[in-house]
Chains A and B, each alone.
Chain A
Amino acid sequence: MQSFDLAAQGLRALNSTLHALNGQTNQTSWEVINPKGAHAIAVGLDAPIDVTVRGSTGYYCAGMNKQATVRIKGSAGPGVAENMMSGTVIIDGDASQYAGATGRGGLLVIKGNAASRCGISMKGIDIVVHGNIGHMSCFMAQSGNMVVLGDAGDALGDSLYEARLFVRGSVKSLGADCIEKEMRPEHLALLADLLARGEADHLAKPEEFKRYGSARKLYNFNVDNASSY
């Protein structure tokens, strides 16, 4: 494993080193020590490498990730894995607001809780949260899957498009145009796969979840719905 001391070598050196790796590299395993809550750690990666951050991170860790697996052995600040394209990001602790925002692909696993606006405007990412998620999560979520083993805060899925939301615990309130939907066999199969990939299959069973999605009533403007906006 290659070790990188962020406090000693600096952020620019870290990201430029990781960006220089390509699909043919033999240096596939990295650890980052002394992150000390720094912002923009391991952003814009584009290689099938494994990066372990030993400590907590600031804003936008693993932002726009492609291919790489990033493990955070601590908690993550705002916007972790924002706009992720592919790969995997696993957080041992909690995640601050906007986790997985606008993510287009890949898998984000949060083993603690996620704050508000988790999965905001998600566009294809899969997010598995072992704990709870905060208010306004999945706002304007377009596609992808959100799995929450705990509870969801206020206004879940407000102005939702086609993302699928699975919550095991309580939902404090649903946002505009978000409704509970029938859990069909294909959803149970999807959940089983997500729980397994999200390292949560020992914690919950697919049958324990409820599914939420878009009522699709706000897809085209209708003045009769004005009070919903």
Chain B
Amino acid sequence: MTDFPHTPPKQSWTFSNDVNAEIRRAAATGIYDIRGGGSKRRLPHFDDLLFLGASISRYPLEGYREKCATDVWLGTRYAKKPIHLDIPVTIAGMSFGALSGPAKEALGRGASAAGTSTTTGDGGMTEEERGHSRTLVYQYLPSRYGMNPDDLRRADAIEVVVGQGAKPGGGGMLLGQKISDRVAMMRNLPKGIDQRSACRHPDWTGPDDLEIKILEIREITNWEKPIYIKIGGARPYYDTALAVKAGADVVVLDGMQGGTAATQDVFIENVGMPILACIPQAVKALQDLGMHREVQLIVSGGIRTGADVAKAMALGADAVAIGTGALIALGDNDPALEAEYQKLGTTAGAYDDWHEGRDPAGITTQDPALFSRFDPILGGRRLKNYLKVMTLEAQTIARACGKNHLHNLEPEDLCALNIEAAAMAGVPLAGTSWIPGRNGTF
């Protein structure tokens, strides 16, 4: 009898081990998966773009001698007191509640030392971040947790949050494990409940109402503060245009790689667009309205390096915001804590159950035993270093492209490595003049 060889075991691409594990988890618990962070998919991203640099047809700047400025003004359209930042990398909104008090302090310390702004989040303004932030953006959210006119007036800018990239169209959630006495008091809620944040604002609907809401905020704050409008990457052309119509000084656009403290995994991975696809649409809306650079554009969602900063700015952004990158700089998901991540059933780099409040790094927790491990002074220093490196990297690239200011980077400096990125970013496929859907030939 002949012993024929068996076909080797073959895993299904459709029903992969990851997919099957999630099916089994769903079957066992009856609850969808909730996690923090942004999309973990492989998405078209800044990695798919390259700078062309300078040679004969373009003239570079000397790397260590010739100036390449990095500053940015935000809020020049209407605000009496626009913001001037030394670097175009800002810290995105993250709540006290999602983050510990010391972590918020570290964000303020690091951002201030690097000459940039930090941002509150759902839950209101804490003394830690106001006290340590030279420039603080105060978020105006649907929940209005902690909202009051005194904090509006002591903010440097106000960000009306319509949506965020991780969950455009979704509200927030802070599970009971993180509703400590202090968090409960700030949010007027019973301790230990699952706190829900509404997905729509309670007192306006649509751009016409929003225009009046912004008028009210400006009147309360004496027309001093820049008003940002933050949108998730849903329909960036129209949403940007409507934000401008509503009176925004600054549009903040967050792609689906942008993190959240907690929401459903199915939401994070299946709703919204990658930031690469969003930026050109938002810039086109601003250009069509004649408002590019007059209304500033801050983009976020997966910004990690100075190269990402430079690419976002070359596509037309005035500045970027970072959240996940900042947390990693503070010490989130550090392999040095691997043994503790293993105890939580995960591993460094993959830890995303921020909503459970058991973060061994002491950043995404309200447990005093855990957050007391975190040193806000050291954390602030690390964040400052990271911001400085990103800025140096972006300057390096800009000089190589012959630009004496990061804002002078332009789409013409870029090419794309694949057709998808070329189509989304609106830059030619490398080695061609072809922008899919627009012009040129392959």
Contacts and interface: CB of A to CB of B under 8 A. Distances in A.
A60 B143 contact: no
A43 B189 CA distance: 26
B202 A43 contact: no
Interface in A117-168: 117, 120-121, 123-124, 139-140, 142-143, 159, 161-162
B34 to A, nearest CB: 9
A98 B212 contact: no
A198 interface: no
A12 B147 contact: no
Q: Which of A40, A78, A104 has the most CB of B within 10 A?
A: A40
A52 interface: no
Nearest to A163: B188
Given A44-B149, A220-B194, A60 B213 contact: yes
A78 B176 CA distance: 33
Given A104-B188, A120-B203, A19 B216 contact: no
A39 to B, nearest CB: 5
Given A60-B203, A83-B148, A102-B202, A220 B196 contact: no
B188 A60 contact: no
A59 B31 contact: no
B219 A142 contact: no
Contacts of A46: 149
A117 B204 CA distance: 11
A173 interface: no
A63 interface: yes
Interface residues of A, number: 41
A15 B219 contact: yes
Contacts of A162: 190
Contacts of A123: 144, 188
A94 interface: no
Interface string B195-222: 0101000111000010011011001111
A76 interface: no
Contact of B212 (A60, A104, A140): A60
Contacts of B215: 39-40
Contact of B144 (A15, A58, A121, A220): A121
B166 to A, nearest CB: 19
Contact of B202 (A15, A19, A117, A223): A117
B89 to A, nearest CB: 32
A79 interface: yes
A40 B202 contact: no
B189 A161 contact: yes
A139 B222 CA distance: 31
Contacts of B196: 140, 159
A6 B192 CA distance: 48
B409 to A, nearest CB: 39
Q: Which of A64, A66, A139 has the most CB of B within 10 A?
A: A64
Contact of A101 (B202, B219, B221): B202
B28 to A, nearest CB: 12
A11 interface: yes
B223 interface: yes
Interface string B149-186: 10010000000000000000000000110000000000
A68 to B, nearest CB: 12
B146 to A, nearest CB: 9
Q: Which of B149, B175, B204, B221 has the most CB of A within 10 A?
A: B149
A83 B147 contact: yes
Contacts of A159: 196
B188 A143 contact: yes
A16 interface: yes
Given A83-B144, A83-B147, A220-B194, A43 B203 contact: no
Nearest to B176: A220
Contacts of A85: 148-149
A39 B188 contact: no
Contacts of A83: 144, 147-149
Nearest to A123: B188
Contacts of A79: 203-204, 213, 216
Given A15-B219, A78-B203, A83-B148, A121 B143 contact: yes
A124 B221 CA distance: 23
Interface in B221-252: 221-223
Contact of A44 (B144, B203, B212, B219): B219
A179 B388 CA distance: 56
Interface string B113-155: 0000000000000000000000000000001100111001000
A87 to B, nearest CB: 12
Contacts of A44: 149, 219-221
Given A85-B148, A219-B194, 15 more contacts: A39-B216, A40-B212, A43-B219, A44-B219, A79-B203, A79-B204, A102-B144, A121-B144, A121-B202, A140-B196, A142-B187, A219-B176, A220-B192, A221-B175, A223-B31
Shortest 10 CB-CB distances between A and B: which pairs?
Answer: A44-B220, A79-B203, A98-B203, A102-B144, A219-B193, A101-B203, A64-B149, A40-B216, A123-B188, A60-B216
Interface of B: 29-31, 143-144, 147-149, 152, 175-176, 187-190, 192-194, 196, 198, 202-204, 209, 212-213, 215-216, 219-223
7 contacts: A16-B222, A83-B147, A85-B149, A102-B144, A102-B203, A121-B198, A140-B198
